[in-house]
Structure 1
Amino acid sequence: MMPSNPQKLANAWTPPGPALLFCPADRPERYQKALDRADVVILDLEDAVSPENRVAAREALIAHPIDPDRAIVRINPSGTGDYRRDLAAIADTNYRVVMQAKAEDPDSIIATALQTIALIETPLGATRAHEIASAVNCIGLMWGAEDLVAGLGGKSSRFGPDEIRPGEYREVARYVRSLTRIAAAAHDKFAVDSVHIDINDTAGLIAEVRDAVAVGYTATACIHPSQVPYIRDGYRPSEDEIDWARKVVEGSEAHHGSVFSLEGQMIDGPVLRQAEVVLARAVAALDVPVGDNATPDQT
């Protein structure tokens, strides 16, 4: 039987949990420590590694394997020598999922010949998000604010302390965040929310995770292990949410799928689907790896 979406891989990889932790690929002593603390590790061959260290990073990637089901390798942008060398190195490993930095067209995704998460972080990439998401081996999208704003000739993706809504994203970043989520959903691919770079801004991280969950993001990337528990907590439904979702599902069954009222709220098909998502996230949270998140010097 053909898959329901011909542009979607059968049995495509999905993140086994919501917290994706970046780790520099030239620091192999941190690989397993990062994996012990997060759900997925993103072994970074791009921004986290200086150009002069990329040869060593690729050698480390090959020599120090970790669980390929819980690892993503971020590769350099298409059209660069590093892109080709990154893919050649990955061919000598068991890793099967890559994240392509600065994705700008579907052909460069297809050219990886691997399951690929496209990172939407340039103006051109943003304008082509839907095309990129349509690539058959594109399994998900992530977005990034800092490269995006740099490509616009700007200086900051967030409002400063003396501006309106300090610490929050500017509208152009929020637009690309929304665009990425919509493009992913339109092509039945998962979406990963961007990192919260202010490690000490716990309140800001919690707020962004809460919003990411509300609009259907699958996971959130992070740069520090101390952020992992907040991400996991944000994606884990509360007892009140689970109780509400169960009442919705049970009520729908009792009313044979017809519209009904629950505690003053009209329950129809879209609300039922939202309740089913809450219960699915509750089940998924039971399988999230639990590690020691307390060592802040591992990334």
Structure 2
Amino acid sequence: MSGVRGSGMTGSTAQSWTPAGPALLFCPADRPERYAKALDRADMVILDLEDAVAEVNKADAREALIADPIAADRVIVRINPAGSVEHQRDLDAVQCTPYRVVMQAKVESAAQITAHGLPTIALIETPLGAVRVEEIAAAPNCVGLMWGAEDLAAGMGGTSSRFGADEPGTGGYRDIARHVRARVRLAAAAFGVAAIDAVHIDIADVDGLVAEVRDAVAQGYTATACIHPSQVEHIRAGYAPSAERVEWARKVCDGALAHDGGVFAVDGQMIDGPVIAQARAILARVMQPPAG
């Protein structure tokens, strides 16, 4: 079960939060008939009160959130941004549920999340949020960071976060998106909070999703969010190390014990402190049975 840094705790003493698994599936909060199905397919569900819900359905979404509870330790609630007319209404609704971890949209300062004190995954998806990500990650109730590519591009007056089919770097992120993705990961590591990679919005592009997940794992991301149940299996597979990598990591960790911190070799490769740390990270990713 995941732990949570609660309000009023400092970063040095607070318990860290870890998602129940690597695949986090968005589900519109105004579609309660989908809640259990989404939870059955993914490791955690992000019940979305923001972009997935039309303005006219916001109140119905909050009512459904309260009336149709599911497993609280596997739910994140995405709330509307600070300063929006829906923000406090969302917070009030969450307080009427068993859910306590929220994902706050468009966070641009630490004060925007410390104001309510709920354990918060800060969604970095505006230019101002991106340049303040370290301040946000250091907030005492920040338990994770996620970034959003499309809102980021729109916030800069851009038209796309990725190269098009007729451009160099087909399918890949443009430079600013890559910069923010890396900066979010660095800030999360520096302040010891979870790092969640952005959604891959092209559902049919399985190869692109697989490549992106592998890259996220290589950079130490904790999990990847997704928008369709078909993406879950590819995310889980990407975060699960291969049998060969697990065997190598076990050899390295066994060698580290045998050599008591000294340099040694495994399969012709020199092994020292940083490589041992990488091996331990691989073993830490050995998949447990899917949540639920």
Query: Deviation of residue 287 (structure 1)?
Result: 3.4
Question: Distance in 2 between the 1:81 and 1:165 partners?
Answer: 40
Q: What is the TM-score when the length of structure 1 is the normalising length?
A: 0.93
Q: Look up the match of 2:253.
A: 249
Q: Which amino acid aligns with 1:149?
A: A
Q: Look up the match of 1:61.
A: 65
What secondary structure, in the 3-state scheme, does the structure 2 residue paired with 1:74 have?
strand
Question: Distance in 2 between the 1:194 and 1:214 partners?
Answer: 15
Question: Distance in 1 between the 2:12 and 2:242 partners?
Answer: 32
Unpaired runs of at least 5, structure 1: 291-299
Query: Does the CA contact (< 8 Å) of 2:16 and 2:193 recur in 1?
Result: no
1:111-167 alpha-carbon deviations (Å, 9 max, x no partner): 122110000000000000000000000001000000000000000001001001211
Query: Does the CA contact (< 8 Å) of 1:259 and 1:266 recur in 2?
Result: yes
- Aligned ranges 1:87-166 → 2 under 5 Å: 87-166=91-170
Q: Look up the match of 2:276.
A: 272
Q: Which amino acid aligns with 2:118?
A: L
Query: Deviation of residue 8 (structure 1)?
Result: 5.0
Q: Look up the match of 1:288.
A: 290
Moved more, 212-221 or 265-274: 265-274
Q: Look up the match of 1:296.
A: none
Question: Distance in 2 between the 1:39 and 1:20 partners?
Answer: 6
Query: Does the CA contact (< 8 Å) of 2:120 and 2:143 recur in 1?
Result: yes
Which of 172, 176, 184 matches 2:176?
Answer: 172
Q: What is the TM-score when the length of structure 2 is the normalising length?
A: 0.95
Count how many residue pairs are aligned between Structure 1 and Structure 2.
Answer: 285
Question: Distance in 1 between the 2:102 and 2:69 partners?
Answer: 15
Query: Deviation of residue 57 (structure 1)?
Result: 0.3
1:263-282 alpha-carbon deviations (Å, 9 max, x no partner): 22111111111101111111
1:148-189 alpha-carbon deviations (Å, 9 max, x no partner): 000000000010010012111111100000000000100011
Q: Which amino acid aligns with 2:291?
A: P
Query: Deviation of residue 9 (structure 1)?
Result: 5.8
What secondary structure, in the 3-state scheme, does the structure 1 residue paired with 2:281 have?
helix
Query: Does the CA contact (< 8 Å) of 2:50 and 2:78 recur in 1?
Result: yes
Which of 233, 238, 241 matches 1:234?
Answer: 238
Q: Which amino acid aligns with 2:289?
A: D
Query: Does the CA contact (< 8 Å) of 2:164 and 2:170 recur in 1?
Result: yes
Query: Deviation of residue 211 (structure 1)?
Result: 0.4
Query: Deviation of residue 32 (structure 1)?
Result: 0.5
Question: Distance in 2 between the 1:134 and 1:157 partners?
Answer: 27
Unpaired runs of at least 5, structure 2: none
Which of 258, 262, 272 matches 2:262?
Answer: 258
What secondary structure, in the 3-state scheme, does the structure 2 residue paired with 1:191 have?
strand
Query: Does the CA contact (< 8 Å) of 1:12 and 1:115 recur in 2?
Result: no
What secondary structure, in the 3-state scheme, does the structure 2 residue paired with 1:158 have?
coil
Q: Look up the match of 2:190.
A: 186
Query: Deviation of residue 91 (structure 1)?
Result: 0.7
Query: Does the CA contact (< 8 Å) of 1:159 and 1:169 recur in 2?
Result: yes
Query: Does the CA contact (< 8 Å) of 2:109 and 2:132 recur in 1?
Result: yes
Query: Does the CA contact (< 8 Å) of 1:9 and 1:137 recur in 2?
Result: no
Question: Distance in 1 between the 2:218 and 2:152 partners?
Answer: 24
What secondary structure, in the 3-state scheme, does the structure 1 residue paired with 2:165 have?
coil
1:29-70 alpha-carbon deviations (Å, 9 max, x no partner): 000100000000000000000111100000000000011100
Q: Look up the match of 1:40.
A: 44
Question: Distance in 2 between the 1:139 and 1:11 partners?
Answer: 9
Which of 218, 221, 228 matches 1:224?
Answer: 228
What secondary structure, in the 3-state scheme, does the structure 2 residue paired with 1:192 have?
strand
Percent identity of the aligned residues? 64
Question: Distance in 2 between the 1:259 and 1:148 partners?
Answer: 44
Q: Which amino acid aligns with 2:14?
A: A
Q: Look up the match of 1:80.
A: 84
